[in-house]
Structure 1
Amino acid sequence: MKILTTNWINIFGVFIVTLFYAVILNYSNSNLNYNIFQSVVAGLILICLYGMIFWGLFIISLIVADLLLIVWSQKLLKQKLLLEWLLVSSPFIYWVIKYQEWISLIGIITFFITQLLRERLIAKAMGI
């Protein structure tokens, strides 16, 4: 169970970076005359409402992949985390290619970075 609780870094990291990207995207759009507050609200709506499918699939995929790969054995942890990143990111890579959803690419890159940070959290939680 300790390993599953380390997923907070993935969820928090992806949320913050994609929100930051959405705010910049809204604020820099010349067709919209948003101030910074409106850009933040629009970014939150984009991430939370439009991204509900993303968040649902992302969290469920994280839990299932952790249960299958990491919970039973922490040997080769870095390789398992990279495999988890590849498995979880695959549908979102498809979305980037097919629908050109560039915000998903930002999420994929951030997820990769947070997976590398998560290795330390798992090692600390398990006393490795």
Structure 2
Amino acid sequence: MKIILTNWINLLGVFGSVFLFAVVLTLTHANLSYNIFQAIVVGVFSVIGYGLMFWAFFIVALVVLDLILIIPNRNNLKLKLIAEWLIISSPFIYWTIEYGEWIFAVGIVSFFIAQLLREKRILKKKF
């Protein structure tokens, strides 16, 4: 159970980076003239509202893959975390390539970094 609770690192990492990207994208858009408050509101709506199905899929996939890959045996933890990242990120890699939505690429990269940070947290704790 404690391993599953380390998923906050992934949630915070992906949410934070995607939110920041959405705010910066809104502020730098040539045809829009939003102030910072409006850009933050747009960023929150984009990340939570538009991405609601993504967050549900992301959380369920993280928990299920943790239960299947990591909890029974923590040997080769880095390899398992990278496999988990690849499995979960695959549809988003495709969507980035197919539709040119760079917000997915930001989420993919931040998820990879969060997985590496999560490895350190899992190894640090005694389960």
Q: Report the TM-score, using the length of structure 2 for normalisation.
A: 0.96
User: After superposition, what is the alpha-carbon deviation per residue over 1:56-83, rounded to whole angstroms, capped at 9, x for unaligned?
Assistant: 1111111111111000010000111111
Residue 104 (structure 1) aligns with: 104
Counterparts of 1:57 and 1:70 in 2: how far apart (Å)? 19
TM-score (norm 1): 0.96
Query: What CA deviation, in whole Å up to 9, does each residue of 1:75-104 have, x standing for no partner?
Result: 000111111111110111111122222101
Instruction: Give, in whole Å, the separation in 2 of the partners of 1:98 and 1:18.
Output: 19
For 1:60 and 1:34, the matched residues in 2 are separated by 35
Distance 1:53 1:102 in 2: 18
Deviation >2 Å, runs of 4+: none
Provide the rounded CA distance (Å) in 1 between the counterparts of 2:126 and 2:114: 18
The answer for unaligned runs of 5 or more in structure 1 is: none
Aligned-pair identity in percent equals 52
Aligned to 2:124: 124
Aligned equivalents of 1:91, 1:42: Cα separation in 2:
24
In the alignment, is the contact (CA less than 8 A) between 1:2 and 1:126 conserved in 2? no
Which structure 2 residue ranges, 5 or more long, are not aligned? Answer: none
What secondary structure does 1:94 align onto? helix
Aligned length: 127
Residue 126 (structure 1) shift: 2.9
The Cα RMSD (Å) is 0.9
Distance 1:110 1:27 in 2: 21
* Pair 1:38-2:38 in alignment: yes
Distance in 1, matches of 2:108 and 2:65, equals 16
